[in-house]
Amino acid sequence: MTSVLHAPAAAPAAAPTPATPAAPAGGHLRVRGLSKSYGTLEVLRGVDLEVRPGEVTVILGPSGSGKSTLLRLVNHLERPDHGFAALDGEVIGYARRRAGWGARRREVLRELTERDVLRQRTRIGFVFQNFHLFPHLTALENVVEAPVSAQGRPRAEVEAEARALLARVGLADKADARPRQLSGGQQQRVAIARALAVKPALLLFDEPTSALDPELVGEVLGVIRDLAHDGTTLVVVTHEIGFARDVADTVVFMDDGRVVEKGPAAQVLGSPAHPRTRAFLDKVR
């Protein structure tokens, strides 16, 4: 697949930050003009977004507003119809190529091979609504799998880091448990440890508490709060307004496939400018 969109200019390389299980390096996400349709249904309509290194962006909006689709396009789990997402200047899912001749020569984007896309995805952690753990693997094996199989790292080294990550999310004593032996909140915390295991530059959360019983929500949000304080770059789709108020640098409100309003959390949640944002917040607060 070839896009005739002009490729974005490469961003200056950020100063290297040591990546450890306790403090992943934060990446710089830029989204420009992302659009996606399924048949005649327009799900995203030219979305722009920027998340700077170490920032926390919370995306709010009603069901069907395009929030989850946006995250899936950022991670290239689905192809955009138009636009692009770039992490630290590298377009996700595509490579820049020169096309044409003379005055008509321009930069276009050509889709990468699946192998190269998988390489890019190791810089992006994705935590899904329904955990997506491998049921036949233990908690430890779920965390170890991606760094070993996708990054080719030594298992002994990865296993030591995985145990540290499980301890970080409060599950040091559950390393040998299989998903069916864990509560929903524990499974989601294993999923967060798994996402951190690849030392991502960006972490995406797609309504990470929506499948949990109310009493389990706090334990998962607590782990995400800790990540926010550590300087990890986070994009979180959620309906947890209190969480957004506590940890978000930026709140984005989406409706009907568009970004309706975005700004500092205190401004958007306290004094929203758009009537659609105000109506939504009045219903969920």
Query: pLDDT digit of tens for each residue in the chain (285 aa)?
Result: 444 444 444 444 444 433 444 444 589 999 999 999 999 999 999 999 999 999 999 999 999 999 999 999 999 999 999 999 999 999 999 987 776 666 666 667 788 998 899 889 999 999 999 999 999 999 999 999 999 998 999 999 999 999 999 999 999 999 999 999 999 999 999 999 999 999 999 999 999 999 899 889 999 999 999 998 888 899 999 999 999 999 999 999 999 999 999 999 999 999 999 999 999 999 987
pTM of the entire structure?
0.86
Task: Provide the 3-class DSSP secondary structure of residue 30.
Answer: strand
Read off the tokens for 255.
């409706």
d(CA 253, CA 262): 6
Relative orientation angle of helices 155-168 and 139-149, to the nearest 10 degrees: 130
| CA 64 distance to own-chain centroid | 18
| CA 105 distance to own-chain centroid | 34
Close Cβ partners of 160 (under 8 Å, ≥ 6 residues apart): none
127 close to 204: Cβ distance less than 8 angstroms: yes
228 close to 23: Cβ distance less than 8 angstroms: no
Read off the tokens for 156.
């002994």
Place of tokens 């009907």: 256
According to DSSP, residue 18 is labeled: -
Q: List b or e across 217-242, with b for residues whose CB sees 16 or more CB atoms inside 10 angstroms.
A: bebbbebbeebbeebbbbbbbbbbbe
In degrees and rounded to multiples of 5, residue 49 shows phi and psi of -160, 145
d(CA 234, CA 201): 9
Strands of the sheet containing 56-60, edge to edge, are: 124-127, 202-206, 234-237, 56-60, 250-255, 258-264
106 close to 6: Cβ distance less than 8 angstroms: yes
Close Cβ partners of 150 (under 8 Å, ≥ 6 residues apart): 118, 119, 121, 122, 198
Read off the tokens for 91.
């377009």
70 close to 35: Cβ distance less than 8 angstroms: no
